[in-house]
């Protein structure tokens, strides 16, 4: 059974804190939220008073705010909402850069959208467990940059903004919002040195390596190469080892049939490390160790920047304690068989990734509906996709995309009528899948069929009929085909 982190109040009581002592304890809480946000809602880690005094190096805003003012601002933090909380979702952009001493020190080597679905109280007053999603954004994706009137590789936008006007986040955030279709409420940026030091401060982390691999082209400190190797299974990692595991791009699998030599595999490994850090940060061993907390706080102050206020960090830490491991959704935008991207060579000669649907609408729908994934997978609605147009391959490509989103597609083919289907139609043959029907209606901007004909009449006579076990049939219309041409 997973260890449950102690509540903030129980920790105060355990330590016998008086009201005056709580002021010092509260100052430690500020950076608890910082670590929580930085490392993916890591949880309530308590930090020292000396970290708060360095807060102006971490938090954007008024540098004249004193420590006492910051502490006072924390009063009632758990009663004030984060940005997006009242609307049900808070989005945090997590950025990792090389930092000083690394080639391309301002390029965003890691980009991840961390979203919290805030748990409402139901009609009985019961509070539901919040969900967290982690969506990794590949650094080789080319995107439009309206402020410059150009297209640019997404990992270079922050660096360009920092060099031009010392505002990398101001350049990057609106681009991410346009591409993903959701607002970015907060950002946290950390460099490699901070990543390794914080993990070392925690005493290392245990990561479950999904498949072993060896990389003989991992960059060393002298701009050369070194060999790194990882075996499958649980591995205890210090900061440097965790960084190597997270950054490796040329791995050759040694005990499996998967693929590790890609940014997509690397993104998945980064998520595994961050989950391991979260678990270690939530442990009593960390929460009750002042020496660890002081060291973590110092390193956060030196290597992390964010636009979150101290009270927002504390609020985030409170929320983090309610997040169960099985309520974290991990996804990577990739160019796999059912992915939302495809790879090509850009006119400048470089490898690039582009969206299957040029206007990014498919990616936006995926990101906006990420928290329906669990419900969709739980319902496991058996679906059939039929092409009601003459666009070749439309049902095939759409089926693959639906499977990427967690749907179960049992059948795809051509509809009996491919001439008059202007708008997509959903046929709901069962009442067992209400959430799947609702999300599909929204995803395809479709109509719900008022009459349910025999399934066999929906396909052409020379095609295989829709199986009887199919509960939902989607007939794609011309309006959908217009914006969703298959990519080959």
User: Which residue, 281, 296, 280, 268, is CA-closest to 206?
Assistant: 280
Distances (CA, A) of 111 to 9, 94, 95, 202: 34, 6, 5, 23
Residue 50: pLDDT band by 50, 70, 90 thresholds? very low
Per-residue pLDDT, averaged over 104-129, amounts to 74
Strand-pair category, 252-253 with 213-219: antiparallel
Q: Which tokens is 227 given?
A: 């060999």
Residue 116 has pLDDT above 80, yes or no: yes
pLDDT for 36 equals 41
Percent of the chain whose pLDDT exceeds 90: 41
Q: In the prediction, which pLDDT does 487 show?
A: 58
Q: Is the pLDDT of residue 405 over 70?
A: yes
Mean pLDDT rounded to a whole number for the chain: 81
pLDDT exceeds cutoff 80 at 99: no
DSSP output for 334-354: --STT-SEEEEE-TTS-EEEE
Helix (H, G, I), strand (E, B) or coil at 300: helix
Question: Based on the number of CB atoms within 10 Å of its own CB, is 144 exposed (0-12), middle (13-18) or buried (19 or more)?
Answer: middle
Residue 98's pLDDT band, with cuts at 50, 70 and 90, is confident
CA distance 137 to 208: 22
- Tell me the pLDDT band of 401, cut-offs 50, 70 and 90: confident
pLDDT of residue 127: 56
Range of weakest confidence among 76-90, 177-191, 313-327, 398-412:
313-327
Rounded Cα distance, 117 and 132, in Å? 6
Token pair of 307, please? 């636009």
* Structural domains of the chain, ranges and CATH numbers in brackets: 372-483 (3.30.70.2390)
C-alpha–C-alpha distance, residues 311 and 299, integer Å: 20
**Whether residue 347 has pLDDT greater than 60:** yes
Which pLDDT tens digit goes with each residue over 333-343?
A: 998 877 899 99
Residue 7 neighbours by CB distance under 10 Å = 13
Q: Which of the pair, 224 or 414, is modelled with greater confidence?
A: 414
The predicted pLDDT at position 182 comes to 97
Greater pLDDT, 244 or 46: 244
Which structure tokens are listed for 213?
């691999």
Per-residue pLDDT at 65: 52
Torsional sign, CA 390, 391, 397, 403: negative
Q: Per-residue pLDDT tens for 154-210?
A: 999 999 999 898 899 999 999 999 999 999 999 999 898 888 999 999 999 999 999
Q: Give the range among 62-76, 254-268, 301-315, 460-474 with minimum mean pLDDT.
A: 62-76
Q: Facing residues of 236 across strands?
A: 206
**Band of residue 58 on the pLDDT scale cut at 50, 70, 90:** low
pLDDT score at 384 = 97
- Whether 76 has a pLDDT exceeding 60, the answer reads no
- Is the CB of residue 374 less than 8 Å from the CB of residue 117? no
Q: Is the pLDDT of residue 70 over 90?
A: no
Q: Is the pLDDT of residue 215 over 90?
A: yes
pLDDT tens digits for range 411-461: 999 999 888 789 999 999 999 999 899 989 988 999 999 999 999 999 988
pLDDT at 126 over 60: no
Pairing of β 142-145 and β 225-230:
unpaired
pLDDT for the residue 16: 47
Residue 281: name the closest of 202, 215, 209, 169 by CA.
202
Q: Is the pLDDT of residue 141 over 70?
A: yes
Is there a contact between 86 and 54 (Cβ–Cβ < 8 Å)?
no
Closest CA to 399 of 412, 418, 417, 416: 412
């Amino acid at each position: 059974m997973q260890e449950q982190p102690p509540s903030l109040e129980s920790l105060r009581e355990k330590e016998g804190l008086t009201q005056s002592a709580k002021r010092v304890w509260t100052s430690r809480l500020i950076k608890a939220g910082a670590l929580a946000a930085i490392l993916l809602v890591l949880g309530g880690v308590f930090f020292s008073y000396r970290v708060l005094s360095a807060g102006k190096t971490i938090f954007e805003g008024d540098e004249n705010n004193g420590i006492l003012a910051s502490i006072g601002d924390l009063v009632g933090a758990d009663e004030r909402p984060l940005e997006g909380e009242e609307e049900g979702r808070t989005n945090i952009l997590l950025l990792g850069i090389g930092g000083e001493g690394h080639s391309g020190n301002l390029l965003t080597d890691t980009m991840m959208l961390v979203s919290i679905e805030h748990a409402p109280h139901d009609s009985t007053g019961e509070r539901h467990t919040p969900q967290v999603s982690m969506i990794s954004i590949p650094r080789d994706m080319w995107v439009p940059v309206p402020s410059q009137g150009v297209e640019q590789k997404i990992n270079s936008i922050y660096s360009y903004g920092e060099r031009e006007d010392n505002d990398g986040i101001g350049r990057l955030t609106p681009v991410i919002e346009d591409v993903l279709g959701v607002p970015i409420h907060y950002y946290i940026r950390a460099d490699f040195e901070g990543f390794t030091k914080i993990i070392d401060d925690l005493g290392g982390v245990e990561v479950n390596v999904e498949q072993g691999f060896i990389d003989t082209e991992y960059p060393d400190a002298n701009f050369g190469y070194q060999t790194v190797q990882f075996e499958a299974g649980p591995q205890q990692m210090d900061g440097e080892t965790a960084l190597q595991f997270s950054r490796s791009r040329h791995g050759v699998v040694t005990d499996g049939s998967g693929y590790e030599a890609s940014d997509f595999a690397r993104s998945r490994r980064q998520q595994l490390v961050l989950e391991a850090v979260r678990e270690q940060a939530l442990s009593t061993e960390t929460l009750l160790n002042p020496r660890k907390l002081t060291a973590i706080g110092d390193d956060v102050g030196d290597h992390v920047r964010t636009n979150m206020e101290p009270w927002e960090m504390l609020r985030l830490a409170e929320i983090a304690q309610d997040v169960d491991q099985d309520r974290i959704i991990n996804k990577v935008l990739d160019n796999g068989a059912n992915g939302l991207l495809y790879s090509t060579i850009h006119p400048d000669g470089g490898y690039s990734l582009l969206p299957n649907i040029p206007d990014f609408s498919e990616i936006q729908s995926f990101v906006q509906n990420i928290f329906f994934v669990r419900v969709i997978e739980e319902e496991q609605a058996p679906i059939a996709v039929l092409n009601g147009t003459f666009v070749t391959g439309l049902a095939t490509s759409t089926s693959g995309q639906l499977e990427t989103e967690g749907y179960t597609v049992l059948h795809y083919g051509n509809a009996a009528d491919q001439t008059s289907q202007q708008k997509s139609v959903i046929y709901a043959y069962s009442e067992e899948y209400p959430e799947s029907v609702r999300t599909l209606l929204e995803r395809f901007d479709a109509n719900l069929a008022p009459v349910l004909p025999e399934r066999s009449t929906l396909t052409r006579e020379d095609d295989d009929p829709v199986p009887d076990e199919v509960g939902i049939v989607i007939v794609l219309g011309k309006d959908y085909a217009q914006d969703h041409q298959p990519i080959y």
